[in-house]
Amino acid sequence: MITIKEVNTKADYKLFVKFPFTLYKDCENWIPPIISQELEVFDKTKNPVFNDAEAKLLLAYKDNKVVGRIAAIINWLEVNKQGEKKMRFGWFDFIDDKTVSKALIEEVIKIGQQNNLEFVEGPVGFSNLDKVGVLTEGFDYPNDMITWYNYPYYASHYEALGFNIEKTYIESSFKFSSVDPKSFGKIQDLIKRRYGLKPLNFTKTKDIMPYVDKMFDLFNLTYAKLSSFVEITDIQKDYFKKKYIGFINPEYIKFVVDKDDNLIAFAIVMPRFNKALKAMNGKLFPFGFLKLLKEKKTSKSVNFYLIGVHPEYQNKGVHAIIFNEYYPIFQARGIEDCYRTPELENNEAIQKIWKNFNPTIIKRRSTYRKDL
């Protein structure tokens, strides 16, 4: 018999966050999250997303043992401001037992129905800056700190529960050695002269901070037309600024401004921390933080996390300026492999940006939907 219990105590929260450590303990391609950061995501006193959203965390028990978990999420900005009556769910993990996944999803469906929502979709987080999608292809590749990993049996559970694929995302990679700077070198010179643009480069994190709010404003503007987009609020901007910007090498953040110093494009690249995260096994202290700092300096792989271009400058080759700024830095650091984080498969604009890099698709992941 499956028993569902709502997470309420500190001990319960730790059980919720640590369940994947048991489920994937023998899986070499599962990269563990940092436990303290996962706990903070669900801390209503620390994460400002709870000003506009709510989440109920649920654990599934069988024979007095945790066998599954799920986060039932309602983002009220999405529901009330955008009219998207969606019941979200994420952090959905379970043993290969359909009675477990069914019991968890049924609780999410009840919450959606009680709040007069129209459909349920997941796995997703609170916003577009969270992890997304259940892995459907590419199980032989490890995840990273900004994506979920799951076993191949997950998709069959969604199908058995009556869900249909809603969105498909792709992840791809390319070798830095295959990048030809001629493909963007001359073009970026022309673009800069034509539109009066200039790149901004940084060597110190403190010099980036005055631009971060403008970057999030541009992020909201750039991604507003994508499905499932929920804007980043001012309070969340401060939260993300303090939590993440210091993690990123300052030279890996690029801005492009116009002649009036208005921000019209940005890009964020992150070192790939997989080796450190695997060795840390979720623990930031006492030595995990040092492992992260070391890999921040020495990693030969990078993730292209975000690229945003103002709608007025899209399809005008502005990305060539960004790539031209990254090229000498990657070359000096000896970067070998470049990875793209999940991008909507039908986002033709973003696919065109990468066409000259000959990327190879290494993973596909999907969100699933069911009407209530």
Going from N- to C-terminal start, the domains of the chain cover: 2-170, 174-363
pLDDT score at 228: 66
Topology given in CATH for the domain delimited by 174-363: Aminopeptidase (3.40.630)
pLDDT tens readout for residues 48-82: 999 999 999 999 999 999 999 999 999 999 999 88
Asked if pLDDT for residue 315 goes beyond 90, the answer is: no
Give the 3-state DSSP-derived string for 57-115, with helices as H, strands as E and coil as C. Answer: EEEEEECCEEEEEEEEEEEHHHHHHCCCCEEEEEEEEECCCHHHHHHHHHHHHHHHHHC
pLDDT score at 220: 86
Asked if pLDDT for residue 227 goes beyond 70, the answer is: no
Asked if pLDDT for residue 272 goes beyond 90, the answer is: yes
pLDDT tens readout for residues 93-132: 999 999 999 999 999 999 999 999 999 999 999 987 889 9
**pTM assigned to the model:** 0.93
Residue 187 phi, psi dihedral angles, 5° rounding: -60, -40
Task: Give the CA dihedral 189, 193, 196, 201, nearest 10 degrees.
Answer: 20
pLDDT tens readout for residues 153-211: 999 999 999 999 999 999 999 999 999 888 888 899 999 999 999 999 999 988 998 88
Topology given in CATH for the domain delimited by 2-170: Aminopeptidase (3.40.630)
Asked if pLDDT for residue 139 goes beyond 80, the answer is: yes
